[in-house]
Structure 1
Amino acid sequence: MSAPTVSIVIPAYNEEDTIRHCLMACIDQTSPALEIIVVNNKSTDGTAAAVEAMQAAFPEASIRLIEQNDVQGITATRNAGFNAAVGDVIGRIDSDSAIMPDWVEQVQAAFADGTIDAASGSVDYYDMPMRAFGHKADDAYRKIQAKLAGDYVFLFGSNMALRRDAWLAVRDEVHDDREDLMHEDLDLAIHLALAGKRIAYVSAMEAGMSARRLDSSPKDYLFYVERFKRTYEKHGIHDVRLLAPMVVLLGVYPALHAERAISGRRGAARTEHQPIQGES
Structure 2
Amino acid sequence: MTSAKERDTQPAGPYGEGSESSPGKTFAEPATRLIATDLDGTLLGADRDLSPRTVAALRAAEAAGIEVFFVTGRPARWMDVVVGHLARHGTAIVANGAAVYDLRADRLVEAFPLAEQEALAAAVALREAVPGTVFAVERAHGFRREPGYPWFEPDDHGSRQPVEVLLAEDLAQPVLKLLAKHPSMDPDEFLAVALAVAGHHGEITRSSMSALLEISGVGVSKATTLAKCCAERGVTAAEVVAFGDMPNDLAMLEWAGTSYAVANAHPQVLAATTRHTASNEDDGVAQVIEQIVAARRTG
TM above 0.5, yes or no, is: no
TM-score, with length taken from structure 2: 0.28
TM-score, with length taken from structure 1: 0.29
- Answer 1 or 2: higher relative contact order, Cα 8 Å, separation at least 6: 2
